Amino acid sequence: MRLLSCFLVLAVSTTHLCDAGPLHAQCRADWYFGIRCQTVYEALVSQIKKWQGRDGCKMGGQRCLYKLKSSSVHFIAAKHTSPLRGNVDDINFRLVSYPFIVSCRVSAMSVSESWYRVKDHGANYCNLYNLMEGSGLTQASGYREVTSDFMCTQRSTANCTVY
């Protein structure tokens, strides 16, 4: 609904109201792989479990405090808590495989639970990207990412080493 009203605003006026990104701190991104969804699923779930505790953030960054909520090969739901400020973000991955070729599309979403968060320094994007990178999926065959500043708050300036 938010996205829709954003499009409508763009359509009826030339103001750049939506240039700054979503109206709430969040990120929507699609990742494509030339490997089976089962493999992608296992990599993501095992990475979420590896980063449950605080250890991953000992040297800084946000690669810790993930919590798996539910998982099936088609849908993974988790939470991520910022070790610094305690902000909680809800994340999910929807996995869709193509029947005739070995490939998998992952539609991912991360949304800050606090309704008032508008800026996040790209943290919602990093919530998702860090799992892709940490699990080695960014090196997988056919890896491709589709997102933008419009779909992800402050995506282009995100530094996932920090956030």
Ligand X SMILES: *[C@@H]1O[C@H](CO)[C@@H](O)[C@H](O)[C@H]1NC(C)=O
Number of residues that bind ligand X (CB under 6 A): 3
- 156 touches ligand X (CB under 6 A): no
- 17 touches ligand X (CB under 6 A): no
Our CB check for ligand X shows the closer of 111 and 158 to be: 158
Neighbours of 56 (CB within 10 A): 19
Cβ–Cβ < 8 Å for 138, 7: no
Q: Which stretch binds ligand X (CB under 6 A): 8-16, 87-95, 132-140, 154-162?
A: 154-162
Nearest residue to ligand X, scored by beta-carbon proximity? 159
In the list 8, 84, 146, 162, the residue contacting ligand X (rule: CB under 6 A) is 162
In the complex, the smallest distance separating the C-beta of residue 27 from ligand X, rounded to whole angstroms, is 18
φ, ψ of residue 157 in degrees (nearest 5)? -105, 10
- 8 touches ligand X (CB under 6 A): no
Neighbours of 31 (CB within 10 A): 23
Cβ–Cβ < 8 Å for 61, 80: no
b (16+ CB within 10 A) / e for 131-162? bbebbebeebeeeeeebebbbbbbbeebebee
Our CB check for ligand X shows the closer of 96 and 162 to be: 162
- 161 touches ligand X (CB under 6 A): yes
Q: Which stretch binds ligand X (CB under 6 A): 71-79, 91-99, 146-154, 155-163?
A: 155-163
Distance CA(19)–CA(103), nearest Å, equals 33
Instruction: Catalog residues that contact ligand X under the rule CB under 6 A.
Output: 159, 161-162
